[in-house]
């Protein structure tokens, strides 16, 4: 299998595996509710750590109606963020990643304005997704769109690792493009919705690391060369015998903010560099924003290993 494609598929697997335990910050509760997260599982209600009840979104008009039938669950306690998804199904950001891949391959290239039109149409299409939760950047984008702003002016400076969800898809779809073109297109694409310097820097790091692995570098060498500003290889190596919950939970926050989430994801990629299954299981099991960390962990391990275990295949 092409290593960039394996990286894309790996990101989807990591997201789908983590989906039922997404945003569990109590790992004891995670284990109690789901046991070992070593296979695709369906989400359960109640979600004891859900803070969906704190979130608010009201569409200004039909141009902003992205919650539709899910709106009734917002403001309720204990609601699972992905309550209607089936085992092995991808969350919204990775469903968009799959859409992006198919769209680029069908068109034969990438155009940011045409993609924004497609993104808007899909997000407003009744029944296109069944996810209860939509991230802040979607809500902000469609609030601005409903106000009449042009799509290029609807993005925000979002600093969450969810901004990387589409990067493995973009790189795989544009396989054959030069490294410089991949970096340029990725910066433009991610910047449409996540115009935050650290998210753009993380996206560029992920592109460079994926390409290095696809060109034959070991994952350790690629992380040392391309991601050294995020994590020290020497420190990562020295932490390998510590429990994952000590590194992702004490040294690094398991939360979604890119400054901690990116090095956390790179650490797991480093530790499990030659074992895709163990790496994505570890990523799911330490909780927090494990779905979106999966964009990094799943893609780097997928690219490094070259093929995914059959038990995790859904293509």
Domain total for the chain?
Answer: 1
Residue 101 pLDDT more than 80?
Answer: yes
pLDDT the model gives residue 286: 98
Query: Which DSSP letter does residue 91 get?
Result: P
Residue 100 pLDDT more than 60?
Answer: yes
* Closest to 298 in 3D by CA, of 174, 107, 169, 208: 169
Residue 1 pLDDT more than 70?
Answer: no
Tokens of residue 234, six digits: 């020497």
Tokens of residue 255, six digits: 């939360």
* CATH number, domain containing residue 72: 1.10.4080.10
Looking at residues 300-307, what average pLDDT do you find?
A: 95
* Band of pLDDT at residue 315, cut at 50, 70 and 90: very low
CA distances from 201 to 134, 208, 224, 264 (A): 24, 11, 16, 15
CB atoms within 10 A of CB 114: 12
Query: Which DSSP letter does residue 279 get?
Result: H
Tokens 């290993």 correspond to what residue? 305
Residue range 195-231, pLDDT digits in tens: 999 999 999 999 999 999 999 999 999 999 999 999 9
Question: Are the CB atoms for 70 and 10 separated by under 8 Å?
Answer: no
Percent of the chain topping pLDDT 70: 99
Residue range 122-139, pLDDT digits in tens: 999 999 999 999 999 999
The torsion angle over the Cα atoms of residues 295, 228, 220 and 276, rounded to 10 degrees, is -20
Owning domain of residue 150: 3-312
* Full-model pTM: 0.97
Tokens 């902000």 correspond to what residue? 140
């Amino acid at each position: 299998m092409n290593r960039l494609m394996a990286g894309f598929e790996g990101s989807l697997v990591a997201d789908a595996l983590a989906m039922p335990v997404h945003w569990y910050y109590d790992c004891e509760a995670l284990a109690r509710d789901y046991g070992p997260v070593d296979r695709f599982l369906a989400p359960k209600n109640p979600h004891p750590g859900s803070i969906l009840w704190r979130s608010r979104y009201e569409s200004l008009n039909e141009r902003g109606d992205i919650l539709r039938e899910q709106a009734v669950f917002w403001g309720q306690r204990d609601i699972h963020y992905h309550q209607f998804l089936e085992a092995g199904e991808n969350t919204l950001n990775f469903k968009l990643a799959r859409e992006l891949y198919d769209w680029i391959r069908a068109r034969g290239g990438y155009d940011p304005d045409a993609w924004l039109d497609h993104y808007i149409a899909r997000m407003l299409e009744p029944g296109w997704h069944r996810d209860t939760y939509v991230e802040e950047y979607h809500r902000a984008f469609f609030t601005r769109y409903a106000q009449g702003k042009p799509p290029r002016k609807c993005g925000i400076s979002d600093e969450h690792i969810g901004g990387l969800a589409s990067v493995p898809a973009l790189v795989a779809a544009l396989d054959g493009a030069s490294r410089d073109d991949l970096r340029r297109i990725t910066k433009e694409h991610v910047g449409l919705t996540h115009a935050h310097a650290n998210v753009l820097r993380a996206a560029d790091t992920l592109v460079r690391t994926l390409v290095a692995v696809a060109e034959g570098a070991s994952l350790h060498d690629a992380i040392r060369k391309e991601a050294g500003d995020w994590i020290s290889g020497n420190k990562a190596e020295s932490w390998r015998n510590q429990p994952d919950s000590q590194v992702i939970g004490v040294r690094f926050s398991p939360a979604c903010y890119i400054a901690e989430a990116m090095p956390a994801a790179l650490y797991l990629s480093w530790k499990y560099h030659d074992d895709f299954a163990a790496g994505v299981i570890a990523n799911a099991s330490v909780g927090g924003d494990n779905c979106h960390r999966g964009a990094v962990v799943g893609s780097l391990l997928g690219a490094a290993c070259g093929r995914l275990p059959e038990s995790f295949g859904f293509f």
